Amino acid sequence: MPEEPRSGSWWKTLPGMLTAIAGLITAVTGLIVALHQILPGSGSHPSSPPPITSVAAALTDTGSQQPPASAAYRVAFPSGTAARPGVQYDVLRTRVERYNPGRLALKLTMRMTNDGPYPANFWDNSFRLSFGGATHAPIDGLDAVVDGRSSDVGTIVFVVPDSARRLTLLVGEQHTVRLPIVLTPQ
């Protein structure tokens, strides 16, 4: 007599176990991705959390030496807003926002014009900010390519103490152009 196939739980078969393991891995991965997107400070740039509040509000009198959290700041470039360390960079717009207590985010919207025939990098590596005896890198991760004989616009973000007043924007990697900046609370 031929033996009849036994009916058993699919959990006991190799394909059943592999299916269960794959389902478990998928569920755990989905949970991790969901939590990563929901929890604060888990964005794609952990070193650059969103600003806490805008600094565009009017200055209020606090009677202290430190600027209030809601102070507006004026950004001035005494030597101009253009630099040409090989390609042309122009500062189109400046914004100052509260970043963290005692810290500001200085956001510079820049236009890069590449007059050359070949593509050129438009990235954070071309910019540094000097203040307080040290040189600082941007935090936001600009990384683009500008085709030859064309322009593009991007934003460079630096974190500075709210007490910083005189800064220098260093533009260029091989040939550096220095653009002084004066930051004044209004």
Distance, first Cα to last Cα, the chain: 98
Give residue 186's pLDDT.
Answer: 87
Task: Classify burial at 40, counting beta carbons within 10 Å of its beta carbon; exposed 0-12, middle 13-18, buried 19 or more.
Answer: exposed
Separation of alpha carbons 70 and 54, rounded Å: 7
Give residue 16's pLDDT.
Answer: 78
The Cα-based distances of 39 to 25, 27, 45, 84, 107 in angstroms read 21, 18, 13, 42, 25
> Of the candidates 46, 60, 85, which has an alpha carbon nearest to the alpha carbon of residue 169?
85
Give residue 33's pLDDT.
Answer: 75
The residue to which tokens 């990235």 are assigned? 123
pLDDT, averaged per 10 consecutive residues of the chain (186 residues), comes to 60 78 84 71 43 36 42 91 94 95 96 96 96 96 96 97 96 93 94
Give residue 153's pLDDT.
Answer: 97
Give residue 4's pLDDT.
Answer: 60
